[in-house]
Chains A and B, each alone.
Chain A
Amino acid sequence: MKGPDVTWYLGVAAFMFATGALGVLLRRSPLIVLLSLELMLNGANLALIAFSRLHGGGAGQIFALSVMAVAASEVVVGLGLIVAMARRNLTLDVDKLTWLRG
């Protein structure tokens, strides 16, 4: 295998995951939370593909493709919710959406 070890790819993956997690935890706009979620998912995907390369099996890539499909579904539903919220003139701020309080 030319170029860097799988280790390096995993490092990038970890960084993306942590960055995405930071975004989810910090940002209040649901849109950016969704984007950060995508970032986390892609970090995981990169790790999956790196491991797939390490072991020489195709299962990791299949998993990554499935994750992409799930991410697409999640975006559809998430964006649908955001649009529905916007149409009901709700504030697009996750800290204001606290009706599920116990």
Chain B
Amino acid sequence: MSSLVLAASAGNVLTWVVWFGAALACVASGIAVVSFSNPFYSALALIGNLASLAVLYLLLSAEFVAAAQVLVYAGAVMVMFLFVIAYLGGRADAPWAGGPSLHRFAAVGAAVAILVEVLVVLGLKAGGELSHPARISGDFGSPAEIGRLFLTDHLLAFEITSVVLLIAAVGGVVLGSHARRLQAEEAGLE
């Protein structure tokens, strides 16, 4: 009996440790994203951020979302980012260049205000209903469950999402071809 409790608490401690590591990585890489002057490093920091987020998702029993996060987000999307950054070359942008200004103070003020407000609300609510998560079955967040939800309860959202992706793809193609034609015209003029 006591060994069971011990095992449970050992599992609990382990979860805490993992969470702490992932959360720390998350926060640190988030700060890194906005403070690197080279976009390339920022992008790399964002990949780290996304990966540590995936760990948090796993802790929240969202297995499928975690997998999608790593594969689609940290994989595909960020690779495209890196390609574009590499294509454009290193264009450094010092985050604090130009010294403090009214706009900067206001920006920091707004961001801090948002953070503080959320934290205050969380503090007020902590220990209440937020501490009593629902019981979940084993297949919560599994690919099978997500697939079932997508094709039954949330079919419309699924279809709309696919249309949004299609439109974005068309938009990307149009933007690309437009830019190419423009370049060709300029070349012809010269």
Given A7-B131, A71-B77, A83-B84, A61:B59 Cβ within 8 A: no
Residues of B within 8 A of A34 (CB): 81
Q: Name the residue among B18, B61, B62, B130 with the largest chain A CB count within 10 angstroms.
A: B62
Contact check, A22 vs B34: say whether CB atoms are below 8 A apart.
yes
Q: Which chain A residues in 53-91 approach chain B with CB under 8 Å? A: 53-59, 61-66, 68-77, 79-84, 86-88
Complex CA distance for A54 and B169, rounded to whole angstroms: 35
Residues of B within 8 A of A76 (CB): 80, 168-169, 171-172
Contact check, A88 vs B65: say whether CB atoms are below 8 A apart.
no
Residues of A within 8 A of B157 (CB): 62-63, 66
Complex CA distance for A22 and B69, rounded to whole angstroms: 23
Secondary structure of the A side of the interface?
helix
Given A3-B18, A35-B46, A65-B65, A55:B134 Cβ within 8 A: yes
Complex CA distance for A101 and B77, rounded to whole angstroms: 32
Complex CA distance for A50 and B56, rounded to whole angstroms: 9
Residues of A within 8 A of B1 (CB): none
Contact check, B171 vs A77: say whether CB atoms are below 8 A apart.
yes
Contact check, B39 vs A61: say whether CB atoms are below 8 A apart.
no
Given A2-B15, A4-B19, A61-B141, A36:B59 Cβ within 8 A: no
Contact check, A26 vs B53: say whether CB atoms are below 8 A apart.
no
Q: Which chain A residues in 1-16 approach chain B with CB under 8 Å? A: 1-12, 14-16
Complex CA distance for A58 and B63, rounded to whole angstroms: 12
Q: Verify if B88 is at the interface (C-beta below 8 Å from A).
A: yes
Contact check, A72 vs B176: say whether CB atoms are below 8 A apart.
no
Contact check, A62 vs B149: say whether CB atoms are below 8 A apart.
yes
Residues of B within 8 A of A15 (CB): 27, 30, 115
Contact check, A35 vs B42: say whether CB atoms are below 8 A apart.
yes
Contact check, A25 vs B145: say whether CB atoms are below 8 A apart.
no
Q: Can you add 8 more A-B contacts, CB < 8 Å, to A23-B34, A26-B104, A61-B146?
A: A3-B16, A25-B107, A52-B141, A55-B134, A56-B133, A68-B69, A82-B84, A88-B179
